[in-house]
Amino acid sequence: MKVYIRTYGCQLNVNDTEIMLGILERYGHTVVNSIDDADLIVLNTCAVRAKSEEKVYGKLGEINRIKRVKPNIFVGIAGCMVEDKREELLSNDTVDFIIGTRAITRIGEAVGRLQKGDRKFAILDDLSDELAGELPFHRLDRYHAWVTIIRGCNKFCTYCIVPYTRGRERSRPPGEILKEIKQLALSGYKEITLLGQNVDSYGKDLSGNYRFSDLLEDVARIDGVDRIWFLTSYPNDLEERVIDIVSSNPKFGKLFHLPIQSGSDRILKLMNRGYTVKQYLRLIDTVRRKCPNAAITTDIIVGFPTETAEDFENTLKVMETVRFNRVNVAAYSVRDGTYAAKHFEDDVPRSIKLKRLNEILRREREISLERSEELLNTSAWVFLRGRSEIDPRDAYGYTDQFKTLIVKDGVKFLGRWARVKIIKVSSGLLWGEMEKVVERRGELVHTL
Ligand code: SAH
Ligand code: SF4
Ligand code: F3S
């Protein structure tokens, strides 16, 4: 069977897609890159906001029209919406089966059931143990790999659906993670990103004292891996030892993604975030002191229930104080089943949410542009990760501060490191020309 998976949401979902595709290949199926070529279409969905779910319903409408012409195609739904919208999805005419976030290892069996004529079934088991072990992957990138180290979330921020869609925190055993990364290094992957909703919780559910910082040190020892990133840190849980490791070991990308969500203590409390603005700013000071060249990025929600103009001003104030390298901003969206949905009224009008959202976006762009302009005419090392979508001759990669750099004529050197002179900048992107290219960072192999 020819299989196409469309991925929505975060990188954890991208990695889950890679697992499902890997399993389907083991079952003898073929991965295709276009919905029109597929016999089986799987939507790997996100439920974090209403908008994420609307996108999926839009896609289902489109698939429904394809299905009228090609009635023999199958449609499955995976990802976070499955837990959230079970009944609704199963009763949708277009959908043949649903499979939960902790049951994706059964995707091969799901196809077997379809072939036997089974329809409208749900696979919702918690098979976290299988997900912790060795799995086949169909990697979507050739030079950079996602590696999930911990699944689920125990935090229960009042607005957030993730703890309900992905369940409790489950760390993969270090041995499994290290084995996977060694294998990746042997296959030529030089850059990896360790993933979890809260990577700082890593290891706390396993026996023994092995923590996230221990994992970072062990991953950095793997020969062949040149650069390591990780996502997401929880402000309260980020240990100083982790900052020290990132700062002192050249293999680490100098990035801390520390979602603040709001600059108002009152709202942070209603969100159940467990820190105050003062504590957050103290953490930023520590990061800046220990790792002065680190980029700090964040997530912000505007229009949380009861958010006043003053609360919002406080969020803007934090933006001015920290001058984040990047901000992901979202308008608060009610998620059924969460504490906030049950106890707080969604009382900030949509127009005000949008106004606040745009204000953050505008300020974010200005700060990013100022930061980009400082980089003009400087040189940076970048790992050439993939082909640019704008011009296929150009490559893209990330600087150590996680700025996207488009490298002119870089595509010939994908998978290598380039020293790049930055010649043009915008708020989001940098453009540059190669000065030299090396196989491994720091080692001169090829001079242009
Ligand atoms: N684990 C990470 C983020 C996970 S979800 C953390 O703790 O920050 C990614 C982002 O989506 C969140 O940081 C938040 O900004 C946003 N988000 C989550 N639930 C939301 C909701 N109900 N409405 C609007 N934005 C939301
Ligand atoms: Fe959601 Fe909070 Fe968990 Fe992040 S830490 S996934 S925002 S509950
Ligand atoms: Fe979305 Fe689930 Fe990720 S809700 S953000 S796909 S964990």
State whether the beta carbon of 197 lies less than 6 angstroms from ligand 2: yes
Check residue 440 and give its pLDDT: 86
d(CA 46, CA 82): 9
State whether the beta carbon of 302 lies less than 6 angstroms from ligand 2: no
Regions of the chain where pLDDT drops below 50: none
| Ligand 2 midpoint to CA 444 (Å) | 43
Residue whose CA is at the smallest distance from ligand 2 atom 2: 157
Check residue 444 and give its pLDDT: 53
Residue 234 CA, closest ligand 1 atom number? 7
State whether the beta carbon of 80 lies less than 6 angstroms from ligand 3: yes
Dihedral, CA atoms, 348, 350, 352, 358, nearest 10 degrees?
130
DSSP string, 173-186: PHHHHHHHHHHHHH
d(CA 147, CA 11): 10
Nearest to 20 by CA among 87, 133, 106: 106
d(CA 297, CA 299): 7
State whether the beta carbon of 56 lies less than 6 angstroms from ligand 3: no
User: Do 291 and 440 meet the contact criterion of CB atoms below 8 Å apart?
Assistant: no
Residue with tokens 């921020």: 157
Residue 45 CA, closest ligand 3 atom number? 6
| Ligand 2 midpoint to CA 178 (Å) | 26
Check residue 385 and give its pLDDT: 96
Check residue 121 and give its pLDDT: 97
Report how many helices (DSSP H) and strands (DSSP E) the chain contains, helices first. 15, 20
Residue of 150, 160, 195, 201 to mutate, ligand 1, most atoms within 8 A of C-beta: 160
State whether the beta carbon of 153 lies less than 6 angstroms from ligand 2: yes
Check residue 441 and give its pLDDT: 79
Segment (H or E) for 89: helix 86-90
Residue 48 CA, closest ligand 3 atom number? 4
- The answer for residues whose C-beta is within 8 angstroms of residue 340's C-beta and 6 or more apart is 158, 159, 270, 271, 304, 305, 334
Side-chain half-sphere of 176: how many Cα atoms within 13 Å? 16
| Ligand 1 midpoint to CA 48 (Å) | 7
3-state SS, residue 178: helix
Check residue 443 and give its pLDDT: 62
pLDDT one-digit tens code per residue, 268-309: 999 999 999 999 999 999 999 999 999 999 999 999 999 999
Q: Nearest bound ligand to CA 233?
A: 1
Domains of the chain: 2-127 (3.40.50.12160), 130-373 (3.80.30.20), 379-447 (2.40.50.140)
d(CA 110, CA 176): 26
Check residue 6 and give its pLDDT: 98
User: Do 345 and 303 meet the contact criterion of CB atoms below 8 Å apart?
Assistant: no
3-state SS, residue 17: helix
User: Do 348 and 308 meet the contact criterion of CB atoms below 8 Å apart?
Assistant: no
State whether the beta carbon of 163 lies less than 6 angstroms from ligand 3: no
Residue of 5, 165, 299 to mutate, ligand 3, most atoms within 8 A of C-beta: 165
State whether the beta carbon of 160 lies less than 6 angstroms from ligand 2: yes
Residue of 301, 334, 344, 348 to mutate, ligand 1, most atoms within 8 A of C-beta: 301
| Ligand 2 midpoint to CA 272 (Å) | 10
Length of the chain in residues, anyone? 448
Residue 11 CA, closest ligand 3 atom number? 3
| Ligand 3 midpoint to CA 45 (Å) | 8
